Amino acid sequence: NDGGHDAKNLRVKLVLLGDSGVGKSCIVLRFVRGQFDPTSKVTVGASFLSQTIALQDSTTVKFEIWDTAGQERYAALAPLYYRGAAVAVVVYDITSPDSFSKAQYWVKELQKHGSPDIVMALVGNKADLNEKREVAVQDGIDYAEKNRMFFIETSAKTADNINELFEDFVDYATSRLP
C-alpha cells in the first residue's frame, strides 16, 4: 500500500467535515499551533495545514489536513477534499443536536462516496460547554460504534483530548487499514 502503516514515516491525508461553527478550524489550530483564537475567521472553501507528530514507538506521522468550510454553498466541493482521504474526522458540537444530525449526514455521504476503506472518527467538540450539553455522550458512542468509527469528545478551547484525537485515531486507523 502507499506509505505503508508498517513504515516508520507515515503520511496521512485527513479531511475534517461537519456543520459550520462546530469548531473544526479551532481543532486544527489547537493541534497544529497549540492555540485557541475565539475570534477565528469562518473558513472559506477549505484550508490546508500539515503537522507531524512522533508516536511512542518513534514512528512519525505527517498529517495533511484539509479543513473544509461546512456551509451549504460549499457542500458540492466536499468530494474534492474527502476523495483520496485515508481518514475523515466528522465533527459536531455537543450543544447542538442539529450539528449531530449534520454529522450523520456526512458519515452517510462518506460511506456512499468516500474511499471504500476510509477510516472515520466522530468527534463531539466543545466538551467544555458541558452545562449546555444537548447531545448525550452515549448517543455519540452508539452512533460511532454502529458505523465502525473512532469516537472522542474534545475541546479546542481547553485543549482537552485534542492531541489524543489525532494520536489515538491514527493508532485506530492503522490497525484498520489494509
Q: What's the grid cell of residue 92?
A: 459536531
Q: Are 95 and 136 in contact (CB under 8 A)?
A: no
Alpha helix positions (H), the chain: 24-33, 78-82, 97-113, 137-146, 162-176
Give 10 or 135: the residue with its C-beta nearer to ligand GDP.
135
User: What is the distance between the alpha carbons of residues 147 and 142, in angstroms, rounded to a whole number?
Assistant: 9
Beta-ladder partners of 51: 63
For ligand GDP, give the closer residue by CB, 156 or 173.
156
Beta carbon of residue 17, minimum distance to ligand GDP (angstroms, whole number): 9
Tell me whether residue 41 or residue 146 sits nearer to ligand GDP (CB atom).
Answer: 41
Residues 6+ apart with CB under 8 A from 24: 16, 17, 18, 43, 67, 68, 70, 91, 125
Footprint of ligand GDP (CB under 6 A): 18, 20-26, 38, 40, 43, 70, 125-126, 128-129, 155-157
CB of 121 to ligand GDP, least distance (A): 15
Q: Which of 11, 133 has the CB closer to ligand GDP?
A: 133
- Least gap, CB of 25 to Mg ion (angstroms): 3
* Footprint of Mg ion (CB under 5 A): 24-25, 43
Backbone torsions φ then ψ of 21, nearest 5 degrees: 95, 0
CA 163 and chain centroid, separation = 12
Question: 55 contacts which partner out of Mg ion, ligand GDP, none, CB within 5 to 8 A by kind?
Answer: none
Give the nearest distance from C-beta 150 to Mg ion in angstroms.
Answer: 21
* Residue pair 122/144 in contact by the 8 Å Cβ criterion: yes
In the complex, the smallest distance separating the C-beta of residue 29 from Mg ion, rounded to whole angstroms, is 9
Q: Which is nearer to ligand GDP, 10 or 78 (CB)?
A: 78
The residue at minimum Cβ distance from ligand GDP is: 23
